[in-house]
Amino acid sequence: MIGHDVFLPTPLPVLCVGITVMLAATAWRRSVNRSFLTGMVTLLLALVFVAHHTGTASDNGDSLFIQDQWANYTAILIMFSGICILLMSWRNGAHDRATPLLDEYPLLYMLGTLGALTIVFSANYMPFFLGLEILGVSLMGLVTFRPGSAMQGYEAAMKYLILSGISSAILLFGIGVAYGVTGSLRFIPPITAGNISLTLPISATVMILVGMFFKLSMVPFHMWLLDVMEGAPVPVAAFLAVVSKIAIFSSLVRYFGTGNQPPFLNDILYVVIILTILGGNLLALRQTSLIRLMACSSIAHVGYLLIAFLCPGRLQSGAITIYLLAYTASTLGVFATMAAFAVPDRSDGTAIAQWKGLFFTRPFLASAMSLMLLSLAGIPPGIGFFAKFEITATGVEYQRNLLLGVLIIGSIIGLYYYLNIIRIMMSAPSLPSASLNRHIRPELMALVIVLTIIVVIGGLFPARALHPLLPVSAIPSDTEAEMTIR
């Protein structure tokens, strides 16, 4: 995308204004409904003005932010996911009297979204790390809002606090070394600014990469994700699995995807991708909790995405953008169906055994869940089939034969545990239909329908439905003009 120098991408001040309004309204009079409504309006306004900017930038000094097709695209995915997750949260926050949420929940959620968008638009270490910490601190508070099991939420938040702090320390130390080597805070690997044989640029790059791997929960830095997502409410687990992953992966592409990676970095990525795909899928085989299974699934899907990341060019950008959309829609669909299935005071829908016989009691939810799971497995008619085909085509184009073999093995394993959930839903119900006959809130039903339509349309008509929406050249490159923000 051809751009020009600007001062600030509009979504960031829009979210800041919305959060300020929420704070002022809470100080005046508490109202969870009003807080959720304010957050929803703020996200919709930010989505409308996603491609706009404020002011012009000075030519002096390093740019703080960057706005191009890649930043706009990932920001759209984050804000769309934010709207969907707010709808899931509204059910618990405003309608369930047994376990009501407080005004702090939507406020922390909006702060986390602001942090994710700051990461996406960052072209400098300072806003990148600031956004990372805003996102992390918000998530620590959100995890504790688990209804009916406060201690489990506190335990998950403590695990996230410790491990997130360790990863942030490693990342910050790498940033400090990078600044000492390059004398600049620009968001580029220090190994591109000097002699690759030097120890300090390599050490700084590896530490920053390890910090990002922690945040992406890639193997062997992955075990925190399962426990934290299991201890969090369903909407917060969806936020962890989708929004935070999109933000960190976007920064990873921004950081390492703009130039030729040195051989040692490719070797590291090869090993991590293999461990991530196999580790995530093998861990999922042992899970009896649907949230823990989705955590393992998200780990494996990051590994699939990194295969395309190692294949530079226009084919890479098309594969990554389409796969991000497929993963976002399908994963949100699973969590939205889980939120719609939940029965207050009896079941939160997180145990796989609770889904037994769902085709007999709630056929629509069972069909929607099956479609989302098949899409994640890469089976037609879901959009995931086309997305995984694009990843495979990219690997074939660049002869990543070993990684393609691992992708095939991981997909076979994933197909087993995804189909196992469908098998459980098709088995005879253990409870009478009347005991599960509960009215589903209209906003949740509408959300499931919308996500189902996206998954089906993207899978049945990929060329017509996706290519006009997904810029093939969205991935930043050295030859692409950038829109920078100081």
pLDDT digits (tens, 9 = 90+) for 89-107: 876 544 444 445 677 888 9
The upper half-sphere exposure of residue 216, i.e. CA atoms within 13 Å in the direction of its Cβ, equals 31
**Spatial contact of 236 and 143, defined as CB atoms under 8 Å apart:** yes
Nearest to 217 by CA among 282, 279, 142: 279
Contacts of 35 (CB under 8 A, 6+ apart): 22, 25, 26, 103, 105, 106, 107
In the chain, pLDDT over 90 holds for what percent of residues?
40
Position 432 scores a pLDDT of 52
Number of domains in the chain: 1
The verdict on residue 3 lying in a domain is no
- Residue 1 is assigned to a structural domain of this protein: no
Amino acid (1-letter code) at residue 121: F
Cis preceding linkage at 220, omega within 30: yes
Would you say residue 342 lies in a domain? yes
Q: What CA–CA distances, in Å, run from 67 to 72, 130, 254, 320?
A: 7, 18, 11, 18
The amino acid sitting at 270 is: Y
- In whole angstroms, give the CA distance from residue 373 to residue 326: 11
- Return the higher-pLDDT residue of 452 and 319: 452
119 lies in a domain?
yes
pLDDT in tens, 311-354: 776 556 678 888 999 999 999 999 999 988 875 544 566 788 88
Structural domain of residue 141, as residue ranges? 8-485
At 143-195, the pLDDT tens digits run 888 766 667 778 888 888 888 889 999 999 999 998 888 888 888 887 766 55
3-state secondary structure (DSSP) of residue 9 = strand
121 or 103: which carries more pLDDT confidence?
121
Report pTM.
Answer: 0.90
- Residue 107 lies inside a defined structural domain of this protein: yes
Biggest CA pair distance of the chain: 70
What torsion do the CA atoms of 244, 303, 198, 66 make, to the nearest 10 degrees?
Answer: -40
Distance (Å, whole) CA 71 – CA 120 = 6
Kindly report the backbone phi and psi dihedral angles of residue 193, in degrees, each rounded to the nearest multiple of 5, phi listed first.
Answer: -100, 0
